[in-house]
Chains A and B, each alone.
Chain A
Amino acid sequence: MANTYPFRVISQEETLFEGRVESIIAPAWEGYVGVMANHAPYLSLLQEGELTVTENRDSVHVFKVNGGVLEVSGGEAVILTESISRI
């Protein structure tokens, strides 16, 4: 059982995801970046691509994002984006 941390995906219209996750994989500025628990503070603009959110082995969500920003700080991660949809 991997460690989990709180993660949110927020758009201007709604909060699309909120919960504890094991890991996320996001299309960061210089390529896909995986974030697990206890990641160092990190701030990156996002590119167009797929965002994979792993809650646990049985629950994986995939989103399509186009731009936005990923912030990891204080043990939690937040993605702000205006263009995102569930796949």
Chain B
Amino acid sequence: MPSLKDLRRRLRSVKNTQMITRAMRSVAASKMRRTQDRRTKAKPYVDRLQRLIANLVGSVGSEGQPLLQQREIKRRLLVVISSDRGLCGAFNNTIIRYADDYRKSLAEPNSLYIIGKRANSVFVRRGVNIVNAHIDFNGNVDVPRVLAIARELTELFLSGKFDSIELIHNQAINAMTYRPRREVLLPLKSDELAPKSEGEEERQPLDYIFEPDPQTLLKGLLPKYLETKLLFTVVDAFATEHQARMMAMTTANLNCRELIDSLTLQINKARQASITKEILEIVGGANALE
């Protein structure tokens, strides 16, 4: 049985841990709110842009748009979004395992493009072909950088190095759970851009003055759509990371509380035992004197 002193020391350390987990939970909660806020702020831009592109694709079609061209897939690029920091439960393991399984299931050669330190260290150790890795986002959405990544990905697609670029990331399903998700970033699907709305009236023909011509306009707008799509994915993934960390810290906090309860009980028992022992000794001593 550990001594009273040891027990007290352990209790103190668990109490400290509890405070840390509580602080980390609050930080994660506020970061999550901030990240989700970004999404809300970007929403008007995306809605408008999507409507504009949908109208354009609807009226001029997808010919002559390299970003919309489906090619025979010879090489795939998988963009894996993990986190830079740990202490967020199974968040990183989930996405790494999913990406690895998917990678191995592919018949075509493939490479990875990594966001997040965690996935990077794992895949570097496994000797997987990595095109590029960003390992210092720290869960903060740096918009210009995300846009630069989008441009780099576009370049990789257009230069013919890769015929399909897919995003692999965690997505929150509700406040408690998240799941890995995979979606194709490039080539863009034209039916995704111009969804056939049922029951609605026909899309009104665009009676605009175009500058330059609609084809070139579309060519200029599609990369923007792509950038935004990537931005949203990154925002979602990071928000999910903070959510996962919040969950993990809540659980850790609860565990601390349980530990504190049981330690306090043990301390009290040990204290009582030592008092009883002292009394017995005194009584024993007094009896011996008589």
A residues with CB within 8 A of B = 8, 10-15, 28-30, 33, 40-45, 69, 71, 73, 78, 80, 82
Contacts and interface: CB of A to CB of B under 8 A. Distances in A.
Contacts of A78: 48
Interface in B41-73: 41-42, 44-46, 48-49, 52
A10 B210 contact: no
A73 B205 CA distance: 13
A25 B13 CA distance: 65
A80 B49 contact: yes
B52 to A, nearest CB: 6
Given A13-B38, A14-B41, A15-B44, A69 B52 contact: yes
B224 interface: yes
A12 B206 CA distance: 25
Q: Which of A43, A44, A73, A82 has the most CB of B within 10 A?
A: A43
Contacts, number: 70
A42 B231 contact: no
Nearest to A30: B211
A45 B52 CA distance: 12
Contacts of A8: 44
Nearest to B210: A43
Q: SS class of chain A's interface: helix, strand, loop or mixed?
A: strand
Interface of B: 38, 41-42, 44-46, 48-49, 52, 143, 147, 206-212, 216-217, 220-221, 224, 227-228, 231
A56 B216 CA distance: 35
Given A12-B147, A44-B211, A45-B217, 19 more contacts: A10-B44, A13-B41, A14-B41, A29-B211, A29-B212, A33-B211, A40-B209, A41-B208, A42-B209, A43-B206, A43-B209, A43-B217, A45-B211, A45-B220, A69-B224, A80-B45, A80-B49, A80-B52, A82-B147
B38 to A, nearest CB: 7
A12 B221 contact: no
B239 to A, nearest CB: 16
B267 to A, nearest CB: 53
Contact of B208 (A15, A28, A29, A43): A43
A43 B216 CA distance: 12
A27 to B, nearest CB: 11
Contacts of A28: 211
A81 B236 CA distance: 22
The 8 closest A-B pairs by CB, nearest first: A44-B211, A29-B211, A41-B208, A43-B208, A10-B45, A42-B209, A45-B220, A12-B42
A42 B211 contact: yes
Nearest to B227: A82
Interface centre among A8, A40, A80 (most CB of B within 10 A): A80
Contacts of B207: 41
A15 B224 CA distance: 17
A13 B211 contact: no
Contacts of B48: 10, 71, 78, 80
Given A10-B45, A12-B45, A80 B224 contact: yes
Contacts of B45: 10-12, 80
Nearest to B56: A43
A43 B44 CA distance: 18
B224 A44 contact: no
Contact of B211 (A11, A14, A15, A43): A43
